Amino acid sequence: MPRIRQYAEKYSNEDFLREIRSKQGYYNLRTQEELGNAMGLPKSTMRKRLINPESLTIQDLRSMIRVLNLSPVAVLKFLGWSDKAIKSAFGE
- What per-residue confidence (pLDDT) applies to 2? 58
Does the pTM surpass 0.75? The reply is yes
8 compared with 80, residue with greater pLDDT: 80
CA 40, CA 24: separation in Å to the nearest integer? 15
CA–CA separation, 31 vs 91, rounded Å? 37
Q: In the CATH scheme, what is the homologous superfamily, with its name and number, of domain 3-90?
A: lambda repressor-like DNA-binding domains (1.10.260.40)
Is residue 1 over pLDDT 80? no
- Looking at residue 36, what is its pLDDT? 93
Start-end of H helices in the chain:
3-6, 8-26, 32-39, 43-51, 58-68, 72-78, 83-90
Find out whether 40 and 80 touch, Cβ atoms under 8 Å: no
What is the mean predicted confidence (pLDDT) over 37-54? Answer: 92
How far is residue 64 CA from its own chain's centroid? 8
Residue 83 corresponds to which amino acid?
A: D
Q: What is the mean pLDDT of residues 23-52?
A: 93
Average model confidence (pLDDT) across the chain: 89
Q: Taking a C-beta distance cutoff of 8 angstroms, is the pair 48, 39 a contact?
A: no
